[in-house]
Chains A and B, each alone.
Chain A
Amino acid sequence: MAVVSVAGLVLAACGSDDGGGSPPAASDGAAEPADISGTTLTISNWDAYMPKSVVKGFEQETGVEVEYAIHTTNEDIMGKITAANGTGFDLVFVSGPFVQALTNLGWAAEIDQSQIPNLSNLDPEATELAFDPGNTHSVPYTWGTTGICYRDDLVGDAPTSWEAFRTPSPQTDGKMTMLGTDRWLLQPALLSLGYSINTTDPAQIEEAKAWTMSAKENLLAFDDTTFYSKLVSGEASLVQAWDGWCEYGRAEDPKNIDFVIPDEGSDLWTDTMVVLEASENKAAAYAFIDYILRPEIGKSIVEFTLYKMPNAGVMAAVDPAIIADFPTLAITPTELFEQEAQTDLGEDGTILWTETATEIKA
């Protein structure tokens, strides 16, 4: 224990940039705010993906000044980091496959787990994620799955299969949307055909392309952002959706909107926190991650974003009324883990997928 705390102290001292002297931290290595007070932590996250109170609470407790930037997609922030050669931020929120990309580029710092004692709060499944087993370079923030979100008053029978996109009913023909980003665009096809969602096999992708192109004829549009408001307005009756997003639709229309994971299965996506190797304030980054992993903080995040966190303590603390209103919050880690986790496709795979997506949409 003493060794750990000393190591923690030493590492904390090396990690922080400015701040002249290092006043002695608490003897327990888990609490080290004194070293980082007065420093700046630069974060980039999706907008409205974290309650402001969480950030302010952290600032007040640690004295760290948080500069909070926003990005709208993984690709945007990856582009920004790549163009800046791995610099620009201390902590970024990215989805699973991008953790691999950042790690392979040498830009994701190897996490000093001793500085994040609350890592033990994570569900065991969250430590075995395919894109980063052991959480060496990332810490999961939220996770979930993708499925079909629909208006049960507008569709005839409730959908049970991804085939719903290829063989629509009269009520759904021309009133469906699919996600447009290539990773999710091809997923229904691959799952329906029984292939891996991380495949890079050209033959399988070709089949998936044909599948998706026949589905395309029945679609209203490809939509990554406003599909749930299309559901609420009735423009669409059945859409491919991330589970949390479906909850936003349910928030507007509690009675009629439902979510289902099709029989063929789905994916497991994870949004994570990554500390950049170039960061000069890793200590504050680790403190922030540690803060997020606290049950009461996680609770406010879940209740705000309506996404699940891989943290049993958090999910248990969430107000049961909220879980009752938004049932996808009740999906258990075991159920999630049955799905295949998204991993990076590698160099050629990424190009092939993007080109296929272009061919489908063009």
Chain B
Amino acid sequence: MAARRSRYLHLHMWLLFTFLYLPIVVLVVLSFNASGLPTSWGGFSLEWYRDLLSNEDLLASIKNSLIVAGYVTAISTVLGTFLAIGLQRTVRSRVLDSVLFLPAVIPDIVLAIGLLSFFNLLRFTLGIHTIVIAHVVFDMIFVAAIVRTRLGYFDRRIEEAAADLGANPVKTFLLVTLPAIMPGVVAGALVAFTLSIDEFVIAFFNSGPGSITFPIRVYSMIRFGVTPVINAVAAIVMVVSLLTMLIALRLTRPKGERSANLGVGA
């Protein structure tokens, strides 16, 4: 019985990955297409990658996106985790609970324009920092929601036991709570990074001339058709993001036996 179930799941995974990667494969293949448009194959060519390397605007926008996403992920993971823990323990009101999660559900154009007006009122200059601020607003809520899912099952008595044994709150948090919720935190960080790297509307309205991010640049370029250069960029952004994530995961991997925590329940 278990084997049959697992075969079905296996099949499902394969189909799912096909669905997920079909457009990616198309995209990557087309980035090597010598012909300019996606409807005809003109032979294998690396010229678009060469074009890309000399396209300063594009490269700058990728760099900006990664910088923004980096800051946003770091800040919103921290704030979001704290929010989740804090909410779990202190807030009893259901209404307050729902209201706090509003930034994640509001239409992005509203947030975009609202923040722009606000920044203008405060005479902030627009730049990378304003995009980061804007992205954190909704990203930290996503992190909080995900971490909370994990927290929901966390048995507080372990914390109390640690306190009884003389650990101060900070130690309790670092050595007891955090490892137990780490899968949730990691999942939250992944989501935060994903949401920030590709976000267009808020970034456009809250960016200055020198902080054009990748989605903004792509959105403009795409008006002239999806040239293979765009596909090449997408492929590269994907690879770079993957490498960044892998490095980050390696760095945050808890030492020694705690690496098992990522997989097995505590």
Contact = CB atoms under 8 A, between A and B. Distances in A.
Asked if A and B form a direct contact in the complex, defined as CB atoms under 8 angstroms apart, the reply is yes
Interface stretch (A99-107, A113-121, A164-172, A221-229): A221-229
**Chain A interface helix/strand/loop/mixed:** mixed
B116 A80 contact: yes
Interface residues of A, number: 30
Contacts of B205: 79-80, 83
B209 A68 contact: yes
A67 interface: yes
Nearest to A85: B120
A280 to B, nearest CB: 13
A233 B41 CA distance: 12
Nearest to B120: A84
A84 B207 CA distance: 12
B212 A83 contact: no
Given A72-B223, A226-B225, A83 B117 contact: yes
Interface in B26-71: 36-40
B210 interface: yes
A296 to B, nearest CB: 24
Contacts of A85: 117, 120
A83 B120 contact: yes
Given A46-B220, A69-B209, A84 B204 contact: no
Given A69-B209, A79-B205, A233-B39, A225 B220 contact: no
Contacts of B221: 47-48
B126 interface: yes
B209 A67 contact: yes
Contact of A72 (B39, B117, B219, B225): B219
A46 B219 CA distance: 11
A248 B221 CA distance: 13
Contacts of A72: 219-220, 223
Interface string A222-249: 0011101100111000000000000010
B219 A67 contact: no
B216 interface: yes
Contacts of B222: 225-226
B37 A69 contact: no
Interface residues of B, number: 28
Interface string A63-96: 0000111111000100110011101100000000
Nearest to B40: A233
Contacts of A46: 220
B183 interface: no
B220 A48 contact: yes
Contacts of B219: 72
A70 B57 CA distance: 11
B224 interface: yes
B39 A70 contact: no
A88 B225 CA distance: 30
A234 B39 CA distance: 9
Contacts of B179: none
A76 B204 contact: yes
A229 B225 contact: yes
A282 B85 CA distance: 52
Interface string B222-242: 111110000000000000000
B208 interface: yes
Contacts of A136: none
A42 interface: yes
Contacts of B126: 88
B116 A84 contact: yes
A70 B204 CA distance: 9
Interface string B178-202: 0000000000000000000000000
Interface string A185-227: 0000000000000000000000000000000000000001110
A79 B113 contact: yes
B37 A232 contact: yes
Nearest to A232: B37
Nearest to A249: B225
Contacts of A228: 225
Given A70-B217, A80-B116, A226-B225, 12 more contacts: A46-B220, A48-B224, A68-B209, A76-B204, A83-B120, A84-B117, A87-B120, A226-B223, A226-B226, A229-B225, A248-B225, A252-B37
Interface of A: 42-44, 46-48, 67-72, 76, 79-80, 83-85, 87-88, 224-226, 228-229, 232-234, 248, 252
29 contacts: A42-B209, A43-B209, A46-B220, A47-B217, A48-B221, A48-B224, A67-B208, A67-B209, A69-B209, A69-B212, A72-B223, A79-B205, A80-B116, A80-B205, A83-B116, A84-B117, A85-B117, A87-B120, A88-B126, A225-B222, A225-B223, A228-B225, A229-B37, A229-B39, A232-B39, A233-B37, A233-B39, A248-B224, A252-B36
Closest 9 CB pairs of A and B: A47-B220, A69-B209, A233-B39, A67-B209, A83-B116, A229-B225, A84-B120, A225-B223, A83-B117
